[in-house]
Chains A and B, each alone.
Chain A
Amino acid sequence: MSRCRGSIARAACVFLLCCFLRPAYAQTFTLSGKVNDTAGHPIPGATVSAKSIASGKTYTARTNANGMYSILDLSSGDYQVWAAAGELQSPPIKVSLAAAQTTDLTLSPAPSAGENLPNAPPQQKSETNPASPSLSDLGFTTQQTQSNAQLQATLARRTEMLKIHQRLGIITTIPMAAALITGPMAKAKGKNGEVIHEPTDANLDLHVALGGLTTALYFTTAGYAIFAPRIPNNPKHGGIRWHEALAWVHGPGMVLTPVLGYMAYSQENSGEKPHGIAAQHGTVAYVTAIAYGTAIVAVSWPIHLKFWEKK
């Protein structure tokens, strides 16, 4: 018995150890920073290299118009990092990567072959054609080539919010469909007064709960789209326009449906057949659901189902 308990404890320890160790192996980091010349001017188009001392593998990135670089997905460990641009080069520095790190590099004229620094990366003979074209030869405007870290951060925040909007939006379809299905079961009488179903408390409660859940999920979903950051100078076209236009149908519908539902419920409770605008509760709910479904299809268009194809 005690041996058995010991084995279970050992297995649990191994399992826990695996759980703790696994993420450590999979974790990667970003090495980023700025490349300047000795006067502090940013150097666009410089090649930044990070050579893993353990594996010998070299990872490269190029600086943007502001001299910024990012080398992504580096494993933890020691790296030799240097930058080069034409005749300019930075002395290699050792970087121990254990978290995302910022390392700025300064370029100065490369030393001649005789004055190579110890442990310097192998010098590559430049084979650049002196007449080879550069980005500045192509006539792009500064606005087009300028890096914009703030816009990148805004885009990231926007994408994150819209991802939640998308997931919640799809989840919302489940209680919405269930509320539509349970709707007739919560009704006392049909159009001509015939008894459809006895509106038991259970049926009504279920329908009201599903309706309430749908409404709560719907407005949470909508909030993630409404409050997602806007990107200026970006006229909309494509399926997103239909997606947004249809919100003017299902949005008011989602406000109106529970209100009409409450009115119909009150009328039935007082022994009346739902009448007036309250009688349209079901119709409004169906129109709302159709507009909602169409909005999902519009933003997913064009749909080509190819699940049967081999990957």
Chain B
Amino acid sequence: MRFTSWPVIVLAAASATSPAFAQPDKVYVLDQSTLTYHMSHPMHEVDGKSTSAKGKGICHAGQCDFLIAAPVKSFDSGDTNRDLHMLEATRGAQFPMVQVRTRFPQHEADNSTFYVDLEVQFAGQIAHYDHVAFQLTQQGNDVHIAGSVPATCSDFKIERPSFLTVPIKNEIPVRVDMTWRQQ
């Protein structure tokens, strides 16, 4: 009796300490979001917004994997002509989605400011941004995340559009404002 109970005790201890068992899968779905790119030119300051992003996050065995995607054509800068030019410059018809992937330890999300490495797939290219800071606030089942991705045109080999022969700035930071809901 004493010997047969050992495996049970070991198994129970392993179950309790293994993160896979200790932390059941958590699934998050993007409830609301606003992604805003900022474009700067000596004669223009333009913001293009999209509220069409969709996302899903799965925390499994202490690691969280998140994917956020938005159609490139969903970004609206307030002018159809400019948006079509953006779609052309970013090869948006050929590569219609912008996708952001991130993986971080689950405990990272316990902090109000957390840092993640992002893989951004856009315009047929992949760029990596390390240690990007996001502000996190939790309200019940909802998690609100805000931050900015320091994207540039050259990261995605985008030829900078120009107006009056002056090109836009290389920096096109993307402001992220999202509310995730745990399922």
Complex-state Cα separation, A158 to B58, whole angstroms: 42
Q: Whole-angstrom distance between the alpha carbons of A154 and B82 in the complex?
A: 16
Q: Known A237-B80, A238-B81, A303-B44; judge A144-B124 contact (CB<8 A).
A: no
Query: Which residues of chain A come closer than 8 Å to B65, judged between CB atoms?
Result: 129, 131-133
Please state if B96 and A134 are interface contacts (CB–CB under 8 Å). Answer: no
Q: 1/0 contact trace for B139-179 toward A, CB 8 Å? A: 00000000000000000010000011000010000000000
Complex-state Cα separation, A152 to B89, whole angstroms: 10
Tell me the minimal C-beta distance from B126 to chain A in angstroms. 5
In the complex, what's the smallest C-beta–C-beta distance from B78 to chain A, in angstroms?
Answer: 5
- CB of A131 within 8 A of CB of B60, answer yes
Interface residues on A, range: 35 or more
- Do the beta carbons of B80 and A134 come within 8 Å of each other? no
**Given that A62-B124, A62-B126, A69-B124 are contacting pairs, would A152 and B45 also be in contact in the complex, using a CB cutoff of 8 Å?**
no
Cα A31 to Cα B9 with chains together (Å): 59
A299 and B44 CA atoms in complex are apart in Å by 11
Question: Nearest B residue to A153 by beta-carbon distance?
Answer: B93
Tell me the bound Cα distance from A288 to B109 in angstroms.
61
Binds B, one of A6-14, A228-236, A259-267: A228-236
How many residues of chain B have a CB within 8 Å of chain A? 48
A220: interface (CB < 8 Å): no
Question: Of A77-85, A118-126, A135-143, A191-199, which binds chain B?
Answer: A135-143
Cβ < 8 Å to B, chain A residues 155-188:
155-156, 158-159, 162, 166, 170
B38 — which chain A residues lie within 8 A by C-beta?
none
User: Per a CB cutoff under 8 Å, which of A62, A144, A155 touches B71?
Assistant: A144
Task: Report the separation of the CA atoms of residues A307 and B42 in the bound assembly, to the nearest whole angstrom.
Answer: 6
Q: A256 vs B130: C-alpha distance in the bound complex, in angstroms?
A: 61
The distance from the CB of B44 to the nearest CB of chain A, in whole angstroms, is 6
Min CB distance A137 to B, Å, is 5
Q: Which among B42, B55, B89 has the greatest number of chain A C-beta atoms within 10 A? A: B42
Does B37 interact with chain A (Cβ within 8 Å)?
no
The 23 sampled A-B contact pairs (Cβ below 8 Å) are A133-B66, A133-B67, A137-B56, A145-B97, A147-B94, A147-B95, A148-B93, A148-B94, A152-B94, A155-B93, A158-B84, A159-B85, A162-B81, A237-B79, A237-B80, A238-B77, A238-B80, A238-B81, A299-B79, A300-B163, A302-B45, A304-B43, A304-B45
